[in-house]
Amino acid sequence: MTARHVLQQADIARALTRISHEILESNRGAAGLVILGIPTRGVTLATRLSVILNAIEPGTVSVGSLDVTMYRDDLAKNPTRAPGRTTIPAGGIDGKTVVLVDDVLYSGRTIRSALDALSDLGRPRTVRLAVLVDRGHRELPIRADFVGKNLPTSTSERIMVRLAEIDGVDEVTIE
């Protein structure tokens, strides 16, 4: 099967910059913002977003990671997963605006897990969702607040997000 490029490095960079501005705009500034990436690539994206956000409004945005493995509803259907890390910034999440970050939004089940995980950690004021790619086919009533690219797909296709920090290259392909 041949892979088709959907986003190149520059596209990804532009999308993240735009999302950063949208976040600041919807939050009316950087106050109380906590960016939480969902492992693995969501964490990388969250880190990049926080760099951009802190460049726009220096030193105000905190970043962390939120592992959802223990909250998944498909654990019994798959081989045992090694859980990822959860790191919550020192200020916690109570009363904060938490932006969850993931690479691809698909069925919505990962985000459902993330919302459950989040509620065990504290009580944010609001929770937003930012994704690099929304490929549709939702199975739950969940939508993203900030989207890098809407990408209509068929369920037989695979979306691959590669990021330089992990994969050595920035690209999104469809195969």
| Interface residues toward another protein, by CB under 8 A | 67, 70-71, 75-83, 85-86, 116, 120-122
Q: How far is the CB of 52 from another protein (least distance, A)?
A: 28
Closer of 86 and 173 to another protein (Cβ): 86
Q: How far is the CB of 117 from another protein (least distance, A)?
A: 9
Per residue, what are the HEC states of 91-124?
Answer: CCCCCCEEEEEEEEECCCHHHHHHHHHHHHHCCC
DSSP label of 60? -
Identify the CA nearest to 130 among candidates 174, 98, 155.
98
Closer of 25 and 120 to another protein (Cβ): 120
Closer of 11 and 116 to another protein (Cβ): 116
Q: How far is the CB of 70 from another protein (least distance, A)?
A: 4
Note if the bond before 40 is cis, omega within 30 degrees: yes
